Amino acid sequence: MADITPAVTAAPAPRRGRQLRRLSRRLPLTAKIGAAILLFWILTVLTVQFWPLADPLAMVGRRLQPPSAAHWLGTDALGRDVFSRTLHGSIWSIPIAIVVVACAVSIGSFLGAISGFFGGWWDTIIMRLVDVTVAFPPILLAMAVAAMLGPGLANASIAMVIVWWPIYARLMRAQVLEVKEREHVEAAVAGGAGGLRVLRVHVLPLCWTPTLINATMDFGQVVLLAASLSFIGLGATPPSPEWGSMISEGATRFYDWWIAFGPGMAILSVVLATSFLGDGLRDLFDRRSA
């Protein structure tokens, strides 16, 4: 009996991999350096528990010893290894920033999309809420909310989400207002497609690029704000090796500079890395859209 099974043609080579490689080659050097630094910290978060480092909470040497071969960044006032505490501090600082940015992007983008696409009283209510929130300086609002909720990283995270979501609501609303006027969206509406389907299928896919760039650059700012809240006692609490609380411990010991040097450089590296990568992505997508 003849085989009537239709011939299956070989699938074309995936294009997404080639597109990503082309995009990575077009990124400026500073953006690649920023991406490498962020990758280092993410890998550190995932693997630092398996590194041959001193216990970040244990007294492993004499108090306030300067950097040496045994302790690369010295020891703190309790004899704990500052180098180990700095690397272990990424377990606190990096995941918190990821959670805060993800929540702020999700909440802000959802409300901004609803506001921009449907307009009317949706737009009025959401944008008045945004206006009230952004009327306060971000650091002061975060401090006020964290103080009301009490110290702790969970409460600090809630405070930072409250500070950041209006930024993404405004950004997404502006993008949706521009995209929904395009011909293909008007054609979909004229064809009888429902509002939510038009928003999900025809509008939102064209609105994510500015949000991605903004989220990349905000990641470092969230790390910095989380450290600031911990510095004043509204974030992580001792003995947690969180970068802000470590800097707070070293702030009272001017001559023992190494206590704050490690976490300070860690925060600086993350802020610069996200700035470099965000600028590179913005320039790359600007060239593509030109």
Domain that holds residue 171: 42-289
- Residues of the chain short of pLDDT 50, as ranges, are 1-13
Domain count within the chain: 1
User: Cα–Cα distance between 253 and 76 in angstroms, integer?
Assistant: 10
The answer to whether residues 194 and 72 touch, using CB atoms and an 8 Å cutoff, is: no
For residue 12, give both structure tokens.
């074309």
What does DSSP assign to residue 166?
A: H
* Residue 177, domain CATH: 1.10.3720.10
Residue 33 lies in a domain: no
Beta bridge partners of 81: 75
From CA 103, how far away is CA 96, in angstroms rounded? 11
Quick check: is 9 in a domain?
no
> Cβ of 87: how many Cβ atoms within 10 Å?
21
Report if residue 23 sits inside a domain. Answer: no
Question: DSSP alpha helices (H): ranges in the chain?
Answer: 15-26, 29-47, 82-118, 120-134, 138-149, 153-179, 183-190, 195-197, 208-231, 243-251, 258-289
Note whether 83 and 71 are within 8 A (CB): yes
Q: Does 30 reside within a domain? A: no
- The span from the CA of 16 to the CA of 216, in Å, is 21
Q: What's the pLDDT score for residue 189?
A: 78
Q: In 3D, which of 278, 160, 114 has the Cα closest to residue 212?
A: 278
- The answer to whether residues 82 and 259 touch, using CB atoms and an 8 Å cutoff, is yes
Under DSSP, the state recorded for 81 is B
The confidence score (pLDDT) of residue 13 equals: 47
pLDDT at 87: 97
Could you tell me which residues come within 8 angstroms of residue 268 by beta carbon, excluding any fewer than 6 positions away? none
The answer to whether position 17 is within a domain reads: no
pLDDT score recorded for residue 2:
44
Kindly state whether residue 15 falls inside one of the protein's structural domains. Answer: no
User: In 3-state terms, what secondary structure has residue 173?
Assistant: helix
Spatial distance between the Cα atoms of 278 and 21, rounded to a whole number of angstroms:
18
What tokens does 36 get? 């490498």
CB neighbour class for 227 (10 Å; exposed up to 12, middle 13-18, buried from 19):
buried
Q: Give pLDDT, residue 236.
A: 87
